[in-house]
Amino acid sequence: MDAPVKPNMIDDLRSYIEALDAAGELHRVETEVDWKYELCHISKVNEEQDGPALLYENVKDNTAPVFTSAFTTKERLAIALEQDPGQSMSSLSQKWMELTTQGLVPPEYVDDVPVMENQITENIDITKFPVPHFYPDDGGRFFVTAGYLLTEDPDTGWTNLGTYRSQVLGPDILGSQILPGKHGEFHMKKYAERGELMPAAAVVGCDPVLFLAGSTLVSSDVSEFDIAGALRQRPVPVFKSEVTGLTLPANAEIIAEGFIDPNELMDEGPFGEYTGYYSGNKGKDFKKPVLRIKRILHRNNPVMWSTTVGKPINDIHMIQSLNRTATLWHDLETMKVPGIESVYMPPEACGRFWAIVSVRQKYPGHSNHVGNAVIASTTGHYGVKGVITVDHDIQADDWDRVMWALSTRFDPKRSAQIIDRGRSTVLDPGLPIDERKITSRILLDACTPYEWEDKPNEIFMDREVLQKVSDRWSEYGFEGSSPVADMIDRLTKPEEIK
């Protein structure tokens, strides 16, 4: 298949870093930094200030550089997806939804395999790479934070890419936090039943679209390679490993491949999680499966890619916001819920705990239908604690207006509904540590009830005058094109919208 040539075509981590550099979105740290805490702390402070992506070129004890803070702004996320950096998060999610539901693009086997430039099969020591130690109470150094674990279904050959963090537990041992219900666990259970070891590969430093696909809730039996292909509209280049038999990405920076014994568990963690709290209790057993590495492959001059995780907002919150908004939106469309205008799972809510949906109401109880549909959907049923519904004049990602609706269209007794039970996440620090399987939820309906005949008299602007203001925008001495054009429907009376 001939790849369409695009201006900022990205096929691996290097071309992404180059694209960021060209867009003025990259800062190189040339002075020596320590992989223990210092690197993470610099990145975190930089991220808190919406700073650029960082490339640490001189990391203590190592020669390879470390790349961080890739996706902490929507612009860099859009560049990774080869999309227009000017659009909002919600519309980027909409684009993601469109591309991944139009059709899948399977990977393509290639002969040119850069990651095979170097092979290590003896004296394996994963700490030869600059693996960061992020936060003071972390259990150690974490190799996979931006990357994925690749496994295959022994019956069907379905290749799964799942972003599960992995701690260095020995020179050739990586822990793997495959949480319950994840596809890596599905595969592992099958190998356990067969009494076989599970081939697995930890991939770090990949085409950013593979990291994004690896951390997305995609249906089981669907390969994230195919999703990445759909997002890029061209196949991911892959090759077959003669050591594990796995189909691996040809352009990765570093691959540690080997076998997971489903019966072998080791203490792993704690880890400073995306909730802003450590996972696991310090001193309490926290057993995880482990990957025993048989071979490390890496490109010449490999680049290590890491993410700080921790408190919002950093890579993981932006990724979850992007892909969960997309899958929730798709779930709602699949359920044929009418009137959905926009959907947003804010990064501030760790990209998953709250959902906001804008709806154009068409019947009494419509907004309530939407709130209930969200928590009944596959995405919305997992760990969502609250849903806010707003009328169509408010965009789901316009927090100022959402807060206004919660203030002026909302009566707690009428508009709030508590649901007692739903699927939670074991990482939710809002629940007692031993009771995290089930959460309650709240639906906040910030819409004016459809059935009210005597609705409050809302202030709207005159449509014709607004059009005139839009046409004359530059005459008033303002720079740039008129911002009014996109707002006219929202600022004028609904009856006037044709």
Query: Looking at beta carbons only, is 220 or 301 nearer to ligand FMN?
Result: 220
Query: Looking at beta carbons only, is 258 or 272 nearer to ligand FMN?
Result: 272
Query: Looking at beta carbons only, is 239 or 274 nearer to ligand FMN?
Result: 274
Could you tell me which stretch among 4-12, 74-82, 135-143, 158-166 binds Mn ion (CB under 5 A)? 158-166
Query: Looking at beta carbons only, is 161 or 337 nearer to ligand FMN?
Result: 161
Partner in contact with 216, chosen from ligand FMN, Mn ion, none, beta carbon below 5 to 8 Å by kind: ligand FMN
Site of tokens 């050739």:
172
Q: How far is the CB of 320 from ligand FMN (least distance, A)?
A: 6
Name the β-bridge partners of 197: none
Partner in contact with 182, chosen from ligand FMN, Mn ion, none, beta carbon below 5 to 8 Å by kind: ligand FMN
CB 390 within 8 A of CB 342: no
**For residues 385-400, b (16+ Cβ closer than 10 Å) or e, as one string?**
bbbbbbbbbbbbbbee
CB 388 within 8 A of CB 354: yes
Q: How far is the CB of 88 from ligand FMN (least distance, A)?
A: 20
Report the C-alpha gap between 351 and 148 in whole angstroms: 19
The contact set with ligand FMN (CB under 6 A) reads 145, 160, 162-165, 177-179, 182-184, 215-217, 307, 309, 316, 319
The DSSP letter of residue 483 is S
The DSSP letter of residue 133 is B
Report the C-alpha gap between 197 and 199 in whole angstroms: 6
Other CB atoms closer than 10 Å to residue 360's CB: what's the count? 14
Residue type present at position 481: S
Query: Looking at beta carbons only, is 218 or 246 nearer to Mn ion?
Result: 218
Residue of the chain from 69, 160, 251, 327 that contacts Mn ion (CB under 5 A): 160
Query: Looking at beta carbons only, is 120 or 222 nearer to ligand FMN?
Result: 222
Q: Does 183 help bind Mn ion (rule: CB under 5 A)?
A: yes
Q: Does 44 help bind Mn ion (rule: CB under 5 A)?
A: no
Q: How far is the CB of 427 from ligand FMN (least distance, A)?
A: 8
Query: Looking at beta carbons only, is 99 or 370 nearer to ligand FMN?
Result: 99
Cα–Cα–Cα angle for 492, 495, 498, nearest 5°?
A: 90
Partner in contact with 441, chosen from ligand FMN, Mn ion, none, beta carbon below 5 to 8 Å by kind: none
Partner in contact with 68, chosen from Mn ion, ligand FMN, none, beta carbon below 5 to 8 Å by kind: none
Q: Which two tokens stand for residue 30?
A: 């040339």
Q: How far is the CB of 172 from ligand FMN (least distance, A)?
A: 20
Q: Does 100 help bind Mn ion (rule: CB under 5 A)?
A: no
CB 278 within 8 A of CB 272: yes
Residue type present at position 211: F
Q: How far is the CB of 300 from ligand FMN (least distance, A)?
A: 26
Q: How far is the CB of 185 from ligand FMN (least distance, A)?
A: 7
Q: How far is the CB of 259 from ligand FMN (least distance, A)?
A: 19
Q: Does 182 help bind Mn ion (rule: CB under 5 A)?
A: no
Residues 6+ apart with CB under 8 A from 401: 390, 394, 395
Report the C-alpha gap between 352 and 146 in whole angstroms: 18
SS3 293: strand
Report the C-alpha gap between 301 and 124 in whole angstroms: 18
Partner in contact with 361, chosen from ligand FMN, Mn ion, none, beta carbon below 5 to 8 Å by kind: none
Query: Looking at beta carbons only, is 187 or 298 nearer to Mn ion?
Result: 187
Q: Does 216 help bind Mn ion (rule: CB under 5 A)?
A: no
Q: Does 223 help bind Mn ion (rule: CB under 5 A)?
A: no
Query: Looking at beta carbons only, is 179 or 461 nearer to ligand FMN?
Result: 179
Could you tell me which stretch among 80-88, 153-161, 274-282, 335-343 binds Mn ion (CB under 5 A)? 153-161
For 240, half-sphere exposure in the C-beta direction (CA atoms, 13 angstrom radius) is 4
Q: Does 401 help bind Mn ion (rule: CB under 5 A)?
A: no
Query: Looking at beta carbons only, is 221 or 489 nearer to Mn ion?
Result: 221
Q: How far is the CB of 146 from ligand FMN (least distance, A)?
A: 6
Q: Does 159 help bind Mn ion (rule: CB under 5 A)?
A: no
Nearest CA-CA partner of 208 in 22, 47, 399, 78: 78
> Residue 383: left if φ>0, alpha if ψ -120 to 50, beta else—which one?
left
Binding site for Mn ion (CB under 5 A): 160, 183, 218
